[in-house]
């Protein structure tokens, strides 16, 4: 079977559901199946078999395997090999405190315990000159200790290997010959700042074997001859490359959602958007002023990860978030999630009330259930679970359900404020793009809380990240610390610094079967005033210094054009655009809503009052239709709430646009 005969499909694994989106002619078809926590590959194979056992798939996969392995500390048995005397750097970290005034701060335990940290003879100077090297006998002794401790994976990070990697490459080669999975910092992150480089390398070593097993399981399936993994930078990686670079997939699924949201907003004519992706376990938010925002580092499970990622903020809030009462008697929702097994109480197996149970009791979910009625919900189980907890606070069932929703919405509101108000942006100037299984349920409430201009709910919102996988470009990011003074020279003079990165990019793209001739290079530099501790990223251009001064003034409110400037790290992004399916604007309908779209009415609680809400089938709505609130718009993958005092219109691309009247 040729590549053209393969079924192109996006698969996004979430904490509650695994979502599938695939092209059937010019249409996007979708499917949701419950995730299998013990082995996520089982849900993927089950979904592919459900679509067609005789088909063969070109799969682009948004995976949470590496993320969950890190969060739940279920990674490989990992050792750390570093320069002798620096074995404890992974535990010492930096002195900055996430909770400045707390006297009982608990730092995350290091991924590698003290018994699995080893130092080798190595002394490389900041200039790159090597004063001492590890000998063969020492390396053989190291191997013996690793084998005795049954180490599966090794994180290798020697001092100043980003300047001269000879010692690190020598150790890596020796360990790989003896059968160890090795993550070498000089390959993964040739940048300065020792702790961040070491932490990133350790995370990669810890999670890569887990992701490799997941990938091998999928590739063993006859229906999956081609597999790519979504990376945190919004591009896709060939499966073989992803096996050894799991740290690049930490934000795999959420990245696809942002890619899709930015694309559909561009098509619909909206520049400033905030993406709101609420699933069963977590909520991911991202602010975009026209371009997808990136950052060179992030935190995951309390540990620094220094790889390029889409600037997404994640909190533990989703439909499966469990409601509980803390030691002080306050109602909390999440971050613990019921997931898909046992799931919220209404799924029929869980005993603890979750956000989905509250939404069901408040009439915000169709009585027929989820997935177009294919997944019925047990309202009686929700009542019992909520009433049991409500009695402890002497509240009625409805009051407690409203409290659960209010707390969950407040948690998300804080996340939205963090990426907007706290960064100097006015939410009133943005449109909220809501997706995920629970996003459209709660978007209107957040619109009111932050006075956001409106809400856009795209088609198939519950599998929107899977849809985004269908449009992911091939993207590779490369970096190198150079410490190069600019000396007033024009930006073009420094283009030679990117030549080694371009050679690596050309080689990697060739192995992936694509060429940069079909794409482009984006070049930028991390710059600072000499003596500063942190940098600003500036696009390479002729007036490089002036661009840095302006960026510094915008970020900090001042600049000093008389102070010397230096380039700290150069960054290269290689992008090969994928063929994009064009979306056509449909003719707007001037009449009322078709009677086939009206499914009757249902009681729904909003702001403490019960209302008669109209029920609508989204698949029967047409561009130009307008629905007055209160209304409940149902479809296979999600439910959208239009509250009283709001109107929902269907635009020419079948998006739902909710605004205040």
Tell me 157's DSSP state: E
Place of tokens 């700290």: 568
Q: What is the dihedral of CA 437, 441, 445, 451, to 10 degrees?
A: 60
Give the helix ranges, DSSP H, for 452-563: 464-469, 499-511, 544-556
Q: Which of 653, 636, 654, 655 is nearest to 20 (CA)?
A: 636
125-158 as b/e: b if 16+ CB within 10 A? eeeeeeeeebeeeebeebbeebeeeebbbbbbbb
* CB count in 10 Å sphere of residue 605: 20
**Span of 67-76, 245-254, 334-343 with lowest mean pLDDT:** 334-343
Q: What is the mean pLDDT of the chain?
A: 91
Q: Token pair of 154, please?
A: 């090794």
Nearest 5°: phi and psi at 237? Answer: -115, 140
Q: Per-residue pLDDT tens for 15-54? A: 788 999 988 777 788 999 988 888 999 999 999 988 887 7
> Mean per-residue pLDDT for 260-266?
94
240 SS3 class: helix
Residue that wins the pLDDT comparison between 68 and 541? 541
Residue 67 pLDDT > 70, yes or no? yes
Q: Per-residue pLDDT tens for 270-295? A: 999 999 999 888 899 999 999 999 99
The interaxial angle of helices 379-392 and 397-419, nearest 10 deg, is 90
In whole angstroms, what is the distance from residue 568 CA to residue 524 CA? 11
> Mean per-residue pLDDT for 631-651?
95
In whole angstroms, what is the distance from residue 459 CA to residue 261 CA? 11
Residue 650 pLDDT > 80, yes or no? yes
Q: Token pair of 489, please?
A: 């020279």
> Mean per-residue pLDDT for 653-657?
95
Report strand pairing: 273-278 vs 283-288. Answer: antiparallel
Report strand pairing: 313-315 vs 283-288. Answer: antiparallel
In whole angstroms, what is the distance from residue 654 CA to residue 649 CA? 9
In whole angstroms, what is the distance from residue 30 CA to residue 20 CA? 5
Q: Per-residue pLDDT tens for 307-357? A: 999 999 988 888 989 999 998 899 999 888 887 778 899 998 888 899 999
The Cα-based distances of 559 to 495, 534, 546 in angstroms read 25, 14, 10
Is the previous residue joined to 335 through a cis bond, with omega within 30 degrees of 0? yes
Tell me 93's DSSP state: -
pLDDT at 474 (0 to 100): 86
Report strand pairing: 309-310 vs 294-295. Answer: antiparallel
Place of tokens 């070498």: 184
In whole angstroms, what is the distance from residue 624 CA to residue 649 CA? 7
Chain centre to alpha carbon of residue 392: 37
Assess contact for 66 and 111: CB atoms under 8 A: no
The residues that bridge with 13 in the sheet, in sequence order, are: 18
Residue 556 pLDDT > 50, yes or no? yes
Residue 379 pLDDT > 70, yes or no? yes
pLDDT at 335 (0 to 100): 86
Percent of the chain with pLDDT over 70: 97
Domains of the chain: 3-70+212-249 (3.30.420.40), 73-210 (3.40.50), 473-576 (no CATH), 595-660 (no CATH)
In whole angstroms, what is the distance from residue 555 CA to residue 548 CA? 10
Overall size of the chain counted in residues: 661
pLDDT at 373 (0 to 100): 82
E strand spans, 257-377: 273-278, 283-288, 294-295, 298-300, 303-305, 309-310, 313-315, 321-325, 331-337
pLDDT at 24 (0 to 100): 77
479-504 as b/e: b if 16+ CB within 10 A? bbbbebebeeeebeebeebbeebbee
252-268 as b/e: b if 16+ CB within 10 A? bbbbbbbbbbbbbbeeb
Nearest 5°: phi and psi at 115? Answer: -70, -15
Q: Per-residue pLDDT tens for 403-457? A: 999 999 999 999 999 999 998 899 999 999 999 999 999 999 999 999 999 999 9
Residue 221 CB-density burial (10 A; 0-12 exposed, 13-18 middle, 19+ buried): middle
Assess contact for 155 and 206: CB atoms under 8 A: yes
> Mean per-residue pLDDT for 634-661?
94
Assess contact for 409 and 445: CB atoms under 8 A: yes
Rounded to two decimals, the pTM is: 0.88
Q: Per-residue pLDDT tens for 577-610? A: 876 555 666 667 666 888 899 999 999 999 999 9
Residue 2's pLDDT band, with cuts at 50, 70 and 90, is very low
Report strand pairing: 117-120 vs 78-83. Answer: parallel
pLDDT at 584 (0 to 100): 66
Residue 332 CB-density burial (10 A; 0-12 exposed, 13-18 middle, 19+ buried): middle
Assess contact for 502 and 480: CB atoms under 8 A: no
pLDDT at 336 (0 to 100): 85
In whole angstroms, what is the distance from residue 265 CA to residue 272 CA? 9
In whole angstroms, what is the distance from residue 274 CA to residue 277 CA? 10
Residue 358 pLDDT > 90, yes or no? yes
Assess contact for 57 and 9: CB atoms under 8 A: yes
Residue 3 pLDDT > 50, yes or no? no
Give the helix ranges, DSSP H, for 317-450: 355-361, 379-392, 397-419, 439-450
* CB count in 10 Å sphere of residue 385: 24
């Amino acid at each position: 079977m040729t590549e053209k005969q393969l079924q192109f499909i996006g698969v996004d694994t979430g904490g509650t559901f695994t979502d599938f989106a695939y092209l059937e002619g010019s249409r996007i078809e979708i499917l949701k199946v419950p995730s299998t926590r013990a082995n996520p590959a089982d849900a993927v194979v089950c979904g592919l078999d459900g679509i067609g056992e005789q088909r063969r798939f070109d799969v682009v996969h948004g995976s949470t395997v590496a993320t969950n392995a890190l969060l739940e500390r279920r990674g490989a048995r990992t050792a750390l090999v570093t320069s002798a005397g620096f074995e404890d750097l992974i535990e010492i970290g930096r002195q900055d405190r996430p909770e400045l005034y707390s006297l009982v701060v608990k730092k995350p335990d290091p991924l590698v315990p003290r018994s699995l940290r080893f130092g080798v003879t190595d002394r490389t100077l900041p200039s790159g000159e090597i004063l001492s090297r590890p000998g063969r006998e020492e390396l053989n002794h190291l191997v013996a200790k690793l084998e005795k401790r049954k180490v599966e994976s090794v994180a290798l990070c020697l001092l100043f290997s980003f300047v001269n990697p000879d010692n690190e490459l020598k150790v890596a080669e020796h360990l790989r010959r003896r059968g160890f999975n090795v993550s070498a910092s000089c390959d993964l992150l040739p940048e300065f700042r020792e702790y961040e480089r070491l932490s990133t390398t350790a995370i990669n070593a810890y999670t890569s074997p887990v992701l490799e097993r997941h990938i091998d399981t999928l590739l063993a399936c006859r229906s999956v001859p081609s597999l790519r993994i979504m990376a945190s930078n919004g591009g896709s990686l060939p499966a073989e490359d992803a096996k050894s670079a799991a740290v690049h997939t930490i934000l795999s699924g959420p990245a696809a959602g942002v890619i899709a949201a930015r694309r559909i907003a561009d098509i619909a004519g909206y520049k400033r958007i905030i993406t709101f992706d609420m699933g069963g376990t977590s909520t991911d938010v991202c602010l975009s002023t026209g371009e997808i925002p990136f950052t060179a580092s992030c935190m995951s499970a309390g540990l620094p990860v220094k790889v390029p990622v889409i600037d997404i903020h994640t909190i533990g809030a989703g439909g499966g978030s469990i409601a509980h009462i803390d030691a002080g008697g306050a109602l909390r929702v999440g971050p613990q999630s019921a997931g898909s097994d046992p799931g919220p109480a209404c799924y029929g197996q869980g005993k603890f009330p979750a956000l989905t149970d509250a939404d069901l009791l408040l009439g915000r979910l169709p009585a027929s259930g989820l997935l177009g009625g294919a997944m019925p919900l047990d309202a009686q189980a929700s009542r019992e679970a909520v009433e049991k907890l409500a009695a402890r606070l002497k509240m009625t069932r409805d009051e407690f359900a409203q409290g659960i929703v209010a707390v969950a919405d407040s948690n998300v509101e804080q996340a939205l404020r963090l990426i907007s108000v706290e960064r100097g942006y006015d939410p009133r100037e943005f449109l909220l793009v809501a997706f995920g299984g629970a996003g459209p349920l709660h978007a209107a409430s957040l619109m009111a809380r932050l006075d956001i201009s409106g809400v856009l709910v795209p088609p198939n919102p519950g599998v929107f990240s899977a849809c985004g996988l269908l449009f992911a470009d091939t993207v590779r990011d490369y970096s190198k610390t150079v410490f190069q003074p600019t000396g007033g020279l024009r930006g073009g003079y420094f283009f030679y610094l990117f030549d080694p990165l371009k050679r690596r990019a050309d080689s990697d793209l060739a192995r992936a079967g694509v060429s940069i001739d079909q794409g482009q290079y984006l070049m930028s530099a991390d710059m600072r005033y000499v003596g500063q501790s942190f940098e600003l990223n500036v696009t390479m251009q002729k007036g490089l210094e002036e661009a840095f001064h302006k960026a510094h003034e915008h970020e900090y409110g001042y600049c000093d054009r008389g102070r010397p400037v230096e380039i700290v790290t150069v960054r290269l992004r290689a992008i090969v655009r994928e063929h994009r399916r064009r979306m056509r604007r449909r003719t707007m309908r001037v009449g009322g809503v078709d009677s086939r779209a009206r499914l009757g009415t249902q009681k729904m609680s909003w702001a403490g009052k019960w209302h008669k809400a109209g029920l609508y089938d989204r698949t029967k709505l047409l561009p130009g239709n307008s629905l007055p609130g209160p209304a409940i718009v149902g479809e296979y993958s999600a439910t959208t709430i239009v509250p009283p005092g709001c109107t929902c219109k269907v635009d020419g691309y079948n998006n739902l646009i909710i605004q205040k009247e």
